[in-house]
């Protein structure tokens, strides 16, 4: 069941919160030895949480929490041995919002170290020899493998969209700041954004509406017109594999056949410049966010993260200001570039999930849309040469989140026809 289907069944008295949790726990028990999506999963605790689920739009729906978000009743280690065994006193604001809406916190999912590069143990549920992506590794895998219908993710470059695409689920990064970051291990002040993973766009609308109180119409509702889409391979088109380029054009052709206007257009120079400076913003701000860990627990930080932090420390503060100014200019240019269009249709990732678990994939096709602060979402769009999932991404303007989900559902329906 999707979250939307389960919510309707619970509301109709055909399913209980405890029955749904038992089904999720049974699936997790069967699959966790292979997928390893959870860093903390206590079946007894999950059952108790289901019994005391509050009324609300998410009443009884199991929710998994990425381990960079605090939970009052579960450990929060931020993917780092430095914080092993840490027990926060309270919930992160987003977790509290999910509970207040009736969501049942099932467990904590694996994240890469501080939501950066060094991976955890999670494997791709479609092929255990491949990465699930990162940094929201466990959340993507748990949703894709039917262990839980909704899971929190976070994104600084591509940490929601890319793993969701690799695992074949919907990954939604809302507009920056939509879900409050209180109680999150924030690394990049200008970029870190909390979002969700689910198995349908309707689930994303349900969850976001429930947690924010904002009206999120059903993406399945009939539109009064076909959308107008910009088509773009982003700032590094040469990084897209042949199957990704073919998939993007197949999506564009399907949208045109269903009545959409699709226009291919080059990125404005301001967007290209901002994308080039994204790594400086991300890593220099992360170095600020991890100042205590770097000073007091350096030996427990992975070599790959230390390398990035030492690199970031080699630039003057003016470089960070340059990146921030470029991002502001890009946001203004994006509004002009997309005027009259509903969304940008673009790749979710360079290709399928890479083999092995040591590398979580490339965020090239995500980082620009993240720094623009608008919503972006990936939808499943078939499989690639190795039989692994692939997705296409849609990016929209700040605060137009409900409309973007509706446009994404329209494109998804066009691909299904």
Active site members: 66, 135, 159
Q: How far is the C-alpha of 39 from the C-alpha of 32, rounded, in Å? A: 10
Phi, psi of 264, deg, nearest 5: -85, 130
Radius of gyration of the CA atoms of the chain, in A: 20
Hey, CA dihedral for 114, 76, 361, 128, is it positive or negative?
positive
Distances (CA, A) of 25 to 38, 48, 86: 12, 13, 24
Which tokens in the block code for residue 252? 């564009």
Element (H, E) at 195: strand 193-198
Q: How far is the C-alpha of 248 from the C-alpha of 238, rounded, in Å? A: 14
* Exposure on the CB side of residue 306, measured as CA atoms within 13 A: 11
- How buried is residue 374: exposed, middle or buried, by Cβ count under 10 Å (0-12/13-18/19+)? buried
Q: How far is the C-alpha of 381 from the C-alpha of 255, rounded, in Å? A: 13
Instruction: Residue 309: count other Cβ atoms within 10 Å of its Cβ.
Output: 20
Beta bridge partners of 343: 229
Asked if the peptide bond before residue 105 counts as cis, ω within 30 degrees of 0, the response is no
Q: How far is the C-alpha of 136 from the C-alpha of 196, rounded, in Å? A: 10
Which tokens in the block code for residue 276? 């080039």
Q: What is the distance between the terminal CA atoms of the chain, rounded to a whole angstrom?
A: 22
Angle between the N-to-C axes of helices 269-289 and 303-312, in degrees from 0 to 180, rounded to the nearest 10: 110
Q: Which of 52, 78, 47, 56 is nearest to 65 (CA)?
A: 78
Q: How far is the C-alpha of 158 from the C-alpha of 305, rounded, in Å? A: 17
Which tokens in the block code for residue 240? 């897209």
Element (H, E) at 230: strand 228-231
Torsion of CA 321, 324, 328, 330, to 10 degrees: 120
């Amino acid at each position: 069941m999707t979250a939307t289907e389960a919510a309707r069944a619970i509301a109709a008295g055909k399913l209980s919160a405890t029955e749904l949790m038992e089904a999720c726990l049974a699936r997790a028990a069967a699959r966790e030895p292979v997928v390893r999506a959870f860093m903390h999963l206590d079946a007894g605790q999950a059952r108790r949480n289901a019994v005391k689920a509050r009324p609300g739009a998410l009443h009884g729906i199991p929710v998994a929490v990425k381990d960079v978000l605090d939970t009052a009743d579960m450990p929060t280690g931020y993917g780092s041995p430095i914080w092993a065994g840490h027990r926060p006193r309270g919930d992160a604001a987003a977790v509290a919002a999910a509970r207040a809406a009736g969501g049942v916190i099932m467990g904590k999912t694996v994240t890469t170290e501080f939501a950066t590069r060094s991976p955890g143990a999670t494997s791709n549920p479609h092929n255990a020899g491949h990465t699930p992506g990162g940094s929201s590794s466990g959340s993507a895998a748990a949703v894709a493998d039917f262990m839980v219908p909704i899971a929190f993710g976070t994104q600084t470059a591509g940490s929601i969209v890319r793993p969701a695409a690799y695992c074949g689920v919907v990954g939604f990064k809302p507009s920056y700041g939509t879900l409050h970051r209180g109680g999150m291990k924030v690394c990049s002040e200008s970029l870190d954004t909390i979002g969700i993973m689910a198995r349908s766009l309707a689930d994303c609308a349900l969850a976001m509406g429930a947690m924010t109180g904002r009206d999120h119409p059903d993406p399945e509702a009939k539109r009064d017109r076909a959308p107008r889409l910009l088509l773009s391979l982003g700032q590094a088109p040469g990084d897209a594999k042949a199957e990704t380029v073919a998939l993007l054009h197949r999506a564009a052709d399907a949208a045109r056949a269903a009545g959409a206007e699709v226009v291919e257009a080059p990125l404005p120079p301001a967007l290209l410049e901002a994308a080039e400076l994204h790594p400086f913003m991300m890593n220099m701000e992360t170095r600020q966010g991890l100042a205590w860990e770097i000073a007091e627990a350096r030996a427990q930080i992975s070599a790959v993260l230390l390398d990035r932090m030492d690199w970031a420390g080699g630039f003057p503060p003016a470089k960070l200001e340059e990146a921030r100014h470029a991002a502001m200019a890009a946001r203004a240019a994006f509004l002009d570039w997309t005027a009259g269009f509903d969304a940008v249709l673009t790749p979710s990732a360079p290709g399928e999930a890479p083999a092995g678990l040591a590398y979580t994939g490339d965020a090239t096709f995500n980082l620009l849309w993240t720094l623009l602060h608008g919503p972006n979402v990936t939808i499943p769009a078939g499989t690639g040469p190795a039989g692994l999932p692939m997705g296409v991404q849609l990016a929209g303007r700040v605060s137009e989140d409900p409309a973007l989900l509706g446009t994404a559902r329209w494109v998804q329906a066009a691909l299904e026809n």
